[in-house]
Amino acid sequence: MIVVTKQLIQIVKFISFVFHFLSVKMEKFQTTLIVLSFCIVFLLGFVSANFLGVLSEYSNFSTEVPLLNNFLGLSQNSSAPSDFVSENQIEIYDDRVVIYVDYASLSRYAPTGSMIPILDENSNGIRVPVNSAEEINIGDIISFYDGNDLIVHRVIEKGTDEKGVYFVTKGDNNPVDDGKIRIEDIKHKTVGVIWWR
C-alpha cells in the first residue's frame, strides 16, 4: 500500500507539473498573440492611412500625410519665412491687436490641403505685393499665377539661370515641387497668418 501511495503521489505531482507547465506556456502564448495582434492592427492602419494619402494626390478628396513624408524624408521645407514684421510694428491692446504694414491686404485660402498644417480654409493671411526678386527669400510663402490659378506655396529654392532669377515653390503637404516660377508671375508674399475656428 505504501508503494502504491508513493507511485500515486509521483503521478499526481507529474500531472500537476504538466498542467502547470502547459498553463504557463499557454499564458505566454496568449500574451504573444495579443502583442502580435496589436502590431498587425497598427501596421495595417499605418499602411492604409498612407495609401489613402497617396490616393488623395490623384483624386478629389484631401487628407494629411505628414508622418509618411517625415518618415521617408520627403519633407524638404526646413526654412522658415523671412522676418517681415518687426516687433515695433505690432501693438497689443486688451481688445485688439494692431499690425502696421504698408499695402497689406487680407487673403483666404482654398481647401486644397497643399499647405497643411500652416494654411487651410480657416486661415486668414496677411499679404503684401511683391515688387522685386530681392524681397523674396527661401522659406517665404508666396502667391503666384499658374495659368488662371492663383497658387499659394512656400519658396524652397532661389536661383539664377539664362532667363534671370527664378524661384522653386512647393506646398508643405505636397510630394513634388511646382517647378521654376518667375518674378512676373508672383503676386504677393504672405507676412502673417491668423487662424480661427
pTM of the complete model: 0.59
Cα–Cα distance for residue pair 38/52, rounded to 1 Å:
21
The amino acid that residue 180 corresponds to is K
Cα–Cα distance for residue pair 146/184, rounded to 1 Å:
11
pLDDT of residue 197: 61
pLDDT of residue 91: 92
CATH number 3.10.20.70 given to 87-195: no
Q: Which of 170, 150, 146, 159 is nearest to 79 (CA)?
A: 170
Q: Which of 170, 142, 169, 160 is nearest to 82 (CA)?
A: 142
pLDDT per residue as tens digits for the range 26-60: 666 777 777 777 777 777 777 777 666 655 554 54
More confident call, 44 vs 161 = 161
Query: E strand or H helix at 124, and its extent?
Result: strand 123-129
C-beta separation of 192 from 179 below 8 A: no
One DSSP character per residue, 45-93 reads HHHHHHHHHHHHTTSS-----HHHHHHHT-----PPPP--S-GGGEEE-
pLDDT of residue 85: 85
pLDDT of residue 23: 65
Instruction: Evaluate if residue 119 carries a pLDDT over 60.
Output: yes
State mean pLDDT over 124-130. 92
Top-confidence range, 8-22, 104-118, 150-164 = 150-164
More confident call, 120 vs 190 = 190
More confident call, 104 vs 23 = 104
Cα–Cα distance for residue pair 32/40, rounded to 1 Å:
12
pLDDT of residue 16: 65
